[in-house]
A and B are shown apart, each in its own frame.
Chain A
Amino acid sequence: MRLVTRAAGGGGAADDPLAHLDALHRLARHLTPSPADAEDLVQETYVRAFRGVAGFRPGSDLRAWLFRILRNAFLDARRREERSPVDLSVELAADAPTAAAGEGLLRGDAELERLRKVVGEEIEAALRTLSEDGRTVVLLDAEGLSEAEIAEVMDCPQGTVKSRLSRARMALRGRLAEYGRQEPP
C-alpha cells in the first residue's frame, strides 16, 4: 500500500494524510453551515480514516479516499440529525437551472460581465443553494479531482459525475446571474 511505501521513504506530499486537511476542511465548511460542525466533521473523517486504514486499497488515491470518508461521515451525521432542530445541511433547492440559467445564451455578455465581478461571499451563497450532491461535485472538481476520482468519492458512475457537474455549474451560474440582477443600478 502506498502508505507503507511512504513510510519506507517513498511517496510525496499527496501521500501524507495531513496534507489534505485544508481541502477536507474546505469541503466540510461548504457542507455544513457551522464552523464547529465542519471541524467535528473533519476530525471524524480522520478518526474513521485511521481506524479503517486497512481498507485503503493499494494504488488508489489517498485524497479521494479521505474525501469519500468525509462525505460519508457528513451523510451519516445528516441522517442522525434528520429529526434534530439543527439543520446540518442547507438543502434549499435542487440543482434545477433557474429561470436565469435557463435563458442560457440569451444572457450573453451580461453574464460574462457579472461573472467577472462576482465576489467570494456571493459564490458561497450561491453554492449553499445547491443540493449536497451539487455542491460536492462542484467543489471536488474545483479541487482538481478527476471525474473518476469524484465518482469514487460519490460512489456513482463517472457518467453521472459528468451530468451532475454540468447541471450544478449551470445552476450556480444561474444563481450568480440572479444576484447580479438584484444589484441596484
Chain B
Amino acid sequence: MNCDDAREQLQDLRRGRLGPAAATEVRGHLAGCDACRREDEAEELLDRALAERLPRHPASLALRRRVAALAGGEGSGLGPGAGGEPLRERARATGRPRLGALLAPAAAAALAILSAGLLLERHHRQEGAGLDRLAEEAITDHLRLLSSAHPLDVESSSNHEVKPWFEGRLDFAPVVPPDQGELRLLGGAVGYVLDRKAAVMSYALRRHKVTLLAFPAAGLAWPVADRSAGGVPASAGEGRGFHVVLWRAGELGYALVSDVDPAELEGLSAAMAPATRR
C-alpha cells in the first residue's frame, strides 16, 4: 500500500468504516510511515476540534417554541389548562398517525402553553372540511410572518419605497396599497404562495397585523366570488381565528389576511381591491 492509497482510507479508518483486512493494511502502513501517521493525527485533531471546540449554537427557547407550535398538536385540547394527556397516548388511542404525537414531552408542554394554532393536523382536517386551499395557504403565510424572527426584507412605511424594492425580485409588479385610515404599512418581503413567489406586504392596524399577499393567479383553482370588495368580485375564507379576503386583479391574485373582525377586513379589502386593478 502506498501513501496515496493509505490517505484515501484514513477517514474511513477513523470512522470505523473499513473491513478488518483493509483496516489492518492501513494500520500497517501507518506503523511504517511517519508522514502518513502525522497526516492521520492532524485529521484526528481536526475531528476533535470540530467536536469539542466549535460553538454548539443550541436553538433558542423562542425558536423551540415556534417549531413546537408548527409541529402541531391536537388543537383545542392543548389550550392552557388542558388535561395534559400525552399526545403519544392519544395517537395510540385513535390509531391515527399524528405529527403532534412525535413531539417530545417538553415540546408537548410548550404546545400546551402556546396553543398557537399553527397546527398541521388541524390544517388538514380543515382542508377536508372545505376551507379553501388558497385561504388556508394565505393564513399559513400570515402566521409564518407573525412568528418569524426576521419577517420583513424591507421595512418602510412608504409604498413608494416598498414597491420599487420588489423590482428584480419578482417577475410581476404588485400594487402596494398605501396607508389608509388606521392602517399603516410596515414593509415587505418575498414569500411563497403554494408553488409560486409572492409579494408579502405587512401592515399594522392598531395592535393587529394585516398581511396582503400578491401572486400570479394563473393555474390556481380560484374560489367563486360571492361578495364585492369595493366593486371587485371577491371571496372570503377563515380558519384558526383568522379571516381572508381574496380577489383577482388581472393576472395577479391578492389575499388579505388578519385576525381583525371580518367586517373590518372586508372594509379594508374594499379600499384596497379597486386600487390593485388600476
List residues of A whose CB falls within 8 A of some B CB. Answer: 1, 3-4, 6-9, 13, 15-19, 21-22, 24-26, 29, 34, 36-40, 42-44, 46-47, 50-51, 53, 80, 83-84, 86, 104-105, 108-109, 111-112, 115-116, 118-120, 123-124, 127, 138-139, 142, 146-147, 162, 165-166, 169, 172-173, 176
Question: A109, B38: Cβ atoms under 8 Å?
Answer: yes
**What residue of chain B has the Cβ atom nearest to residue A169's Cβ?**
B46
Question: B63, A18: Cβ atoms under 8 Å?
Answer: no
Question: B150, A173: Cβ atoms under 8 Å?
Answer: no
**Number of contact residues on B: which range applies?**
35 or more
Of the candidates B11, B45, B51, which one forms a contact with A142 in the assembled complex, judged by CB atoms under 8 Å apart?
A: B51
CA–CA, A26 and B51, complex, Å: 12
Give a binary string over B51-67; 1 marks a CB under 8 Å from any A CB, 0 the rest.
Answer: 10111111110111011
- Tell which of B141-149, B176-184, B231-239 binds the partner: B141-149
CA–CA, A118 and B91, complex, Å: 48
Of the candidates A47, A123, A169, which one forms a contact with B70 in the assembled complex, judged by CB atoms under 8 Å apart?
A: A47
Question: B42, A115: Cβ atoms under 8 Å?
Answer: yes
CA–CA, A42 and B63, complex, Å: 8
Q: How far is the CB of A164 from chain B (nearest CB, A)?
A: 12
- Tell which of B99-107, B222-230, B253-261, B269-277 binds the partner: B99-107
Question: B102, A40: Cβ atoms under 8 Å?
Answer: no
Question: A80, B11: Cβ atoms under 8 Å?
Answer: no
Question: A7, B98: Cβ atoms under 8 Å?
Answer: yes
Residues of A within 8 A of B54 (CB): 120, 123-124, 127, 142
Residues of B within 8 A of A6 (CB): 101-102
Main secondary structure of the interface of B (DSSP, over half): helix
- Contacts A3-B97, A42-B63, A173-B46 given; indicate if A112 touches B56 (C-beta within 8 A): no
CA–CA, A7 and B140, complex, Å: 25
Question: A26, B99: Cβ atoms under 8 Å?
Answer: no
Tell me the B88-125 residues at the A interface (CB within 8 Å): 88, 91-92, 95-99, 101-104, 107, 120
Q: Decide if B20 is an interface residue (CB 8 Å cutoff).
A: no
Of the candidates A3, A18, A146, A173, which one forms a contact with B42 in the assembled complex, judged by CB atoms under 8 Å apart?
A: A173
Question: B67, A21: Cβ atoms under 8 Å?
Answer: yes
Question: A9, B92: Cβ atoms under 8 Å?
Answer: yes
Question: B99, A3: Cβ atoms under 8 Å?
Answer: yes
Q: How far is the CB of A146 from chain B (nearest CB, A)?
A: 8
Question: A50, B99: Cβ atoms under 8 Å?
Answer: yes
Of the candidates A43, A53, A123, which one forms a contact with B53 in the assembled complex, judged by CB atoms under 8 Å apart?
A: A123
Residues of B within 8 A of A51 (CB): 120
Tell me the B191-244 residues at the A interface (CB within 8 Å): 197
Residues of B within 8 A of A119 (CB): 53
| 10 examples of A-B residue contacts, CB within 8 angstroms | A3-B97, A7-B102, A18-B104, A42-B67, A44-B144, A47-B144, A80-B169, A108-B38, A123-B53, A176-B49
Question: A43, B55: Cβ atoms under 8 Å?
Answer: no
**What residue of chain B has the Cβ atom nearest to residue A42's Cβ?**
B63
